[in-house]
Structure 1
Amino acid sequence: MTSAPTTAASASWRARFTGGGAVRLESLVVLAVLCVAMAISSSAFLSVSNILNILLSTSVFGVLAIGMTFVISSAGIDLSVGSMLALSGVVGAMLTSDLDLPWWMGILGCLAAGAATGAVNGFLITKGAIPPFIVTLGMLGVARGIALVLSNGVSIYGLPPEIVWLGQGRPFGVPVPVIVLLLTALVAHLLLAHTRFGVHAQVIGDNEGAARAMGVRVERMKVLIYTLSGLLSGLAGLLFAARINSGEPTAGLSYELTAITATILGGTNLFGGRGSVVGTLIGALIMGVLQNGLNLLAVRPFYQQIAIGAVLILAVWLDRINSREGWRR
């Protein structure tokens, strides 16, 4: 039987963390200011086609960032999402192009490859007692290497039309990847903010000892969280491959940096205990607007990497300031 103190603690934690949809005001202000600045700098920024381009480019790393939200809110980190994206796309392309299997096998292959790789991350972190930073840093190289070996270092072209439609289709003028991103965000928001799984993920990030006292199976939860991150990486890999009509072993380079930045910008605490899928969407849009605006202004890609890195440092710094102010209050 569950003791009364444990039940009360569980109710207290649930009351604290079911507000997972909260959006940090600073994120909305940054997005608004950035949009105004880009609109002033370039007359093409507010065109319908450019707005759709922003949403389309945001969709892939936005899906990655949603998975990262669960990982970071549980006080973990996943540096392998970009490599898992590439591996998933290559697996899906091999199944349909090289092995001539049905298109739906390609979709399942992408998702399964991502989920399996994520599960390996979770298993090594829990059973091997290895820090998430080390495990996922190692998997960054392993997954990328496997993708290069499977493809012999070259792109695998010729995906089925059904899969290509997932990346290039535009029902009612809206790109399919954008629709997939919004549906994924909706499901993830409900999962994080309104289910036991999401509550427990954030409790683990805030205080793992308290989570164990509540009866949370911490090791099992961590494996599931990293599996979810891998699954969403597989979905992002599917969208990326469908968009360019090929499995690309070098896809997703530095996407882990963009996904982490978007997650932190959205209000998820880098050190765990707080996460917001809605906020992550805002953060992903900030990154999409920034990259698009720099492209319109003909800023060289090298400087764009500097800008993304600087934004990440700034986001973490602001998050630490907010955390200190919260503790003072």
Structure 2
Amino acid sequence: MTTNRSTTLEPAAAGAAPGEPGRRFSWQWLQGFAVRHAMVVVMLFVVAFFLYKSARFGTVENMTTILIAAAPFALIALGQTLVILTGGIDLSVGSIIAASAMAGAYVAKASAGNLLLTVVVAVAVGLAAGAVNGFVVSRMNVPPFIATLGMLTLASGAAYVIGGGAPINGLPANFGSIANTEILGLKIPVILMILCIIAFAIIMKRTSYGMRVYAVGGNRLAAEIAGVKSKRILFSVYTISGVLAGISGLMLASRVISGAPNLGQGYELDAIAAVVIGGASLMGGRGTVWGTAIGLLLIQTLNNGLDLLIVPSYWQDVIKGVLIVLAVAIDVWAAHRRTS
């Protein structure tokens, strides 16, 4: 009886310092937490710095501003996450945003504010562009970099063609309600961002589809031997990326009640940066939706905080570049520590 009792108490005392039985928090625990959640720690340091430097940064209004700015990026970053998990890349999302925004704006103006038709057309443009990317990559075996680079040029040209080389202005007032309507104090893009992050996190972690995406990115040949239809998976992730870019373009155009052919320019780079900062491997097979969300918020927090500190735009690019490289280096170091 005595032996059993002493054995039961051993785990509680294990690792505890003398005189501190059952101690839960220690330097070793903090080290382990920092290694497991490196990007969270970086994010906390960045937030703490801006809170110290600017009284406006921590206000509710500013936090809302960050979320609103992050929403369009979140959608394309989620699509980019799926693509990168398969070992691919989608360089066309910025141009698809522009083409979808211009198509939506054109239809809204031509139909005198038919919102249902506007939404359907904008999303359909993103769907079509993503499906073309998926077909070229999965069926024609064109490298993703080349396939999506071609779509980048095509969609960008299409955006200018739709508007005749100029922005589309004079849109119906109700066009702005798509992105500027508030529900429970949150604008629709923010609500959509939160729902999409939760939904994709569940899909990638709890469903067979998510497992197949990871399998294709980890080892496509092994996945096919195990019965995974890799071509279908590749087609689906690029199509989903296109749809999300189409929705993002519609939201961006609605927010300013205007269609611009250069809308979304460079967004693909921030989306890729968010995914990589979040811990995803460009080789495929490693990464999480929650990691992408942290990477996205880190980038948007940097943008917002540097603006509040009135840092010139050229210095902002330098600072963001350095911090992105440091963040990725820290994550790589943390990954090595986890595996060792």
Please classify the TM superposition score into its range, dividing by the shorter chain length: 0.7 to 0.9
Q: Which residue of 2 aligns with 1:43?
A: 55
**Distance in 2, Cα, partners of 1:33 & 1:266:** 16
Flag the 1:117–1:203 CA change in 2: closer, same or farther, 3 A: same
Q: Does 1:91 align with 2:89?
A: no
On the 8 A contact 2:108/2:118 being kept in 1, the answer is: yes
- Cα-to-partner distance string for 1:196-217 (whole Å, 9 max, x where unaligned): 1111111111111111111111
On the 8 A contact 1:261/1:315 being kept in 2, the answer is: no
Q: How does 1:143-154 map to 2 (within 5 A)?
A: 143-154=155-166
| Equivalent of 2:295 in 268, 283, 286 | 283
| Equivalent of 2:304 in 292, 299, 324 | 292
On the 8 A contact 1:66/1:280 being kept in 2, the answer is: yes
Q: Does 1:30 align with 2:42?
A: yes
Q: How far 1:221 moved relative to its partner? A: 1.0
Q: How far 1:105 moved relative to its partner? A: 0.9
**Distance in 1, Cα, partners of 2:237 & 2:309:** 39
**Distance in 2, Cα, partners of 1:266 & 1:51:** 20
Q: Which has the larger radius of gyration?
A: 2
Q: Percent identity?
A: 38
TM-score of the aligned structures, taking structure 1 as reference length: 0.88
Deviates more, 1:301-310 or 1:47-56: 301-310
Q: How far 1:274 moved relative to its partner? A: 1.8
Unaligned runs of 5+ in 2: 1-34
- Any idea what SS the aligned residue of 1:247 has? coil
Q: Which residue of 2 aligns with 1:246?
A: 258
On the 8 A contact 2:107/2:121 being kept in 1, the answer is: yes
Deviates more, 1:223-232 or 1:144-153: 144-153
Tell me how many residue pairs correspond in the alignment. 306
Q: How far 1:270 moved relative to its partner? A: 2.1
Q: Does 1:268 align with 2:280?
A: yes
Q: How does 1:50-65 map to 2 (within 5 A)?
A: 50-65=62-77
Q: Which residue of 2 aligns with 1:5?
A: none
- Any idea what SS the aligned residue of 1:156 has? coil
Q: How far 1:157 moved relative to its partner? A: 2.4
On the 8 A contact 1:70/1:275 being kept in 2, the answer is: no
Q: How far 1:240 moved relative to its partner? A: 0.5
**Distance in 1, Cα, partners of 2:128 & 2:321:** 29
Q: How far 1:160 moved relative to its partner? A: 4.4
Q: How does 1:186-205 map to 2 (within 5 A)?
A: 186-205=198-217
Q: How far 1:313 moved relative to its partner? A: 3.5
Q: Which residue of 1 aligns with 2:143?
A: 131
Q: Which amino acid aligns with 2:271?
A: A
Flag the 1:123–1:314 CA change in 2: closer, same or farther, 3 A: farther
Q: How far 1:275 moved relative to its partner? A: 2.5
Q: How far 1:303 moved relative to its partner? A: 2.5
Q: How far 1:324 moved relative to its partner? A: 4.5
On the 8 A contact 1:258/1:308 being kept in 2, the answer is: no
- Any idea what SS the aligned residue of 1:43 has? coil
Q: How far 1:191 moved relative to its partner? A: 1.6
Q: How far 1:248 moved relative to its partner? A: 1.4
On the 8 A contact 1:164/1:243 being kept in 2, the answer is: yes
On the 8 A contact 2:38/2:330 being kept in 1, the answer is: no
Q: Which residue of 2 aligns with 1:7?
A: none
Deviates more, 1:67-76 or 1:184-193: 184-193
| Equivalent of 1:177 in 189, 202, 217 | 189
Q: How far 1:237 moved relative to its partner? A: 0.7
| Equivalent of 1:218 in 221, 225, 230 | 230
Flag the 1:318–1:135 CA change in 2: closer, same or farther, 3 A: farther
**Distance in 1, Cα, partners of 2:314 & 2:157:** 25
**Distance in 1, Cα, partners of 2:88 & 2:254:** 30
Q: How far 1:149 moved relative to its partner? A: 1.2
On the 8 A contact 1:52/1:175 being kept in 2, the answer is: no
Q: Does 1:256 align with 2:268?
A: yes
Q: How far 1:246 moved relative to its partner? A: 1.3
On the 8 A contact 2:165/2:261 being kept in 1, the answer is: yes
- Any idea what SS the aligned residue of 2:184 has? helix
